[in-house]
Amino acid sequence: AKIRHYRWEVKYEFKSPDCYRKLVITINGKSPGPTIRAQQGDTIVIDLKNGLLTENVAIHWHGIRQIGTPWADGTEGVTQCPVLPGDTFRYKFVVDRAGTYLYHAHYGMQREAGLYGSIQVALPDGENEPFVYDYDRSVILNDWYHRSTYEQAAGLSSVPFVWVGDPQSLLIEGRGRFNCSRTPDVASGVCNMTNPECSPYVFTVVPGKTYRLRIGSLTALAALSFEIEGHNMTVVEADGHYVEPFVVKNLYVYSGETYSVLVTANQDPTRNYWVVTKMVSRNNTTPNGFGIFNYYPNHPRRSPPTVPPSGPWWNDVDARVNQSLAIKSHRDYVHPVPQTSDRVIILLNTQNRINGSVKWSINNVSFTLPHTPYLVSLKHDLLHTFEQTPPPDVINGYEAYDINIAPPNVNATSSNSLYRLKFNTTVDIILQNANTLNVNNSETHPWHLHGHDFWVVGYGDGKFNASEDPKRYNLVNPIMKNTVPVHPYGWTALRFVADNPGVWAFHCHIESHFYMGMGVVFEEGIEKVTKLPSSIMGCGDTRRFIKP
Ligand code: C2O
Ligand code: CU
């Protein structure tokens, strides 16, 4: 195994990812940042210099379990203090499993300012994937807002509440195209559709070849459909695990998920084709994102001769649920599932109001981050730094709760308390969706677990029935993932083993939802965590450990 050393500097720079110039956080001048390419078992060392001048930073390695290095997870408030302007922080961790992963900022709503990228981990020499392809490419999908993350965050915490609204654009590998004629900023040059930074993403293929396309989504809000005009895609990997292959025309991807699909360039080679992303799951005004699937040797900028496919209906929930149900573990790579669990936690999500502002709550608790990172507080017994009463495993009155109406009790409490899991036990999590504060509205939430992969043992419509539904769990060949959607008015059941000493966030990957309190934190095996590096300290009550 190798040590791969990176030197990164993050900075604010003016960029025009969708032709509209704004301040973007770059890594070494780029957004998306550099792709980390490594082999299973390698050690990654990143010396991250914070060049933001007046803003802290932290980077999370999404999908990397951080076994033995919980302090390198990059979750501000959970596993580390933020990295101060001018400081350099060293992340050092092992990529222990081949697959497709992501990285992104994990401080405030900073991720959507452009600080993100992808991680590709290859198999060890001599091992093969259970599928064949000629070339391997990765593409990150995103959505894009023109307003700064500060403006958005301020709106979300004001009274009256100001929602972030629909994204202005969808980006494919950091490129989108906003229609500048719709803004007054075209005259000033702030919006300029001839800027080469916003020329469309081009995916060049050689006729007859098969491509492994690694698709990841780091949208702030949007659930996406991804398609390549006229081409089928075979899904073969999800969040680093091999999938029993299935074919789709369009792939639904939620924020925080990664997939590998195989695409063969087997259509008329004399022309190009559209690559289309479309926002689904909420009614929206965001225009579709476009790229070009370019058959060599046609000119890469030549527009396809056809009208781009318009994509699925935004409200076709069944199609999305069906894709979720289709994802099973590849038959030769099943990780045996524990057949029983030791603890069941039902996480009911509701929208609520606290002091007049709108929040998301889990079991009536809206999550806030503590000022002293849990990892340090728990390891060093600074228990006064966060609330000690744990949140409930099931909300009071769950049996009677009607998920089809707006929450009858709109009040919730904010808390920074966490769930403490007994080391090495098996835990079931039921994500239970419900109606929001608006009538006839339930949203899709992609939940991401740090430090683990979990088995996705079941999805269901309506309210989870604790005596009947577990009988229908898939305990034979469920896929393991780190991010999973809970569909509107439905539930999703996950199982994992609490065997990774540390403190791990579990939250909705929609940036504004987590900011509004949609998350929880798990602690397990804290006593097994070895000496914490002092580099993660310096804020809140951890200052006592820093020698003057
Ligand atoms: Cu990719 Cu806690 O997030
Ligand atoms: Cu959400």
Q: Is the pLDDT of residue 548 over 80?
A: no
Share of the chain above pLDDT 90, in %: 96
User: How many whole angstroms from 343 Cα to the centroid of ligand 1?
Assistant: 24
**Strand 223-228 relative to strand 273-280, pairing:** antiparallel
Task: For 399-410, write each residue's pLDDT tens digit.
Answer: 999 999 999 888
> Same domain, yes or no, for 131 and 194?
yes
Determine the structural domain holding residue 175 and report its residue range: 3-326
Task: Please give the Cα distance from 445 to 462 (Å, whole number).
Answer: 15
Residues 284 and 370 in one domain: no
Q: Are residues 254 and 346 in the same domain?
A: no
322 and 338 together in one domain? no
> What is the tens place of the pLDDT at every residue in 235-294?
999 999 999 999 999 999 999 999 999 999 999 999 999 999 999 999 999 999 999 999
509 lines ligand 1 (CB under 6 A): yes
Is the shortest distance between the CB of 60 and ligand 1 below 6 Å? yes
Q: CA 547 to CA 246: how far, in whole Å?
A: 57
Atom of ligand 1 nearest to the CA of 507: 2
| pLDDT higher than threshold 80 for residue 547 | no
Place of tokens 């809140």: 540
Final residue belonging to a domain, choices 308, 326, 344: 326
pLDDT tens column, 184-243: 887 788 999 999 999 999 999 999 999 999 999 999 999 999 999 999 999 999 999 999
Do 263 and 214 meet the contact criterion of CB atoms below 8 Å apart? no
Q: What DSSP element (H or E) covers 204?
A: strand 201-205
The burial of 363, by beta-carbon neighbours within 10 Å (0-12 exposed, 13-18 middle, 19 or more buried), is given as buried
Is the ipTM, as predicted for this complex, more than 0.95? Answer: yes
* Domain final position from 326, 353, 372: 326
62 CA: nearest ligand 1 atom: 1
The overall average pLDDT reported for the chain is: 97
How many Å separate Cα 135 from the centre of its chain? 25
Mark whether 364 and 446 lie in a shared domain.
yes
* 432 and 346 belong to one structural domain: yes
Asked if residue 139 and residue 186 are part of one domain, the reply reads yes
Confidence of residue 73 (pLDDT cuts 50, 70, 90): very high
371, 352, 504: which is closest to 414 by C-alpha? 352
Measured from the CB, is residue 62 less than 6 Å from ligand 1?
yes
Q: Are residues 309 and 400 in the same domain?
A: no
Torsion region of 71: left, alpha or beta (phi above 0 gives left; psi -120 to 50 gives alpha): alpha
CA dihedral angle for residue 26, residue 161, residue 510, residue 53, rounded to 10 degrees: 20
Single-letter amino acid, residue 270: T
Q: What is the CATH number of the domain that holds 455?
A: 2.60.40.420
The total number of structural domains that make up the chain: 2
Instruction: With CA atoms as reference, report the closest residue to 373 among 534, 536, 499.
Output: 536
| Whether 501 and 398 share a structural domain | yes
Which of 326, 358, 385 is the last residue in one of the domains? Answer: 326
Task: Return the SS3 of 169.
Answer: strand
- Shared domain for 288 and 421, answered yes or no, is no
pLDDT tens-digit profile of 82-119?
A: 999 999 999 999 999 999 999 999 999 999 999 999 99
Least confident of 277-286, 348-357, 515-524: 348-357
Secondary structure letter of residue 518 according to DSSP: -
Q: Is 177 a pocket residue for ligand 1 (Cβ < 6 Å)?
A: no
State residue 225's pLDDT score. Answer: 98
- Whether 309 and 339 map to the same domain: the answer is no
CA 125 – CA 281 distance, rounded (Å): 41
Does one domain contain both 346 and 266? no
Rounded to two decimals, the pTM is: 0.97
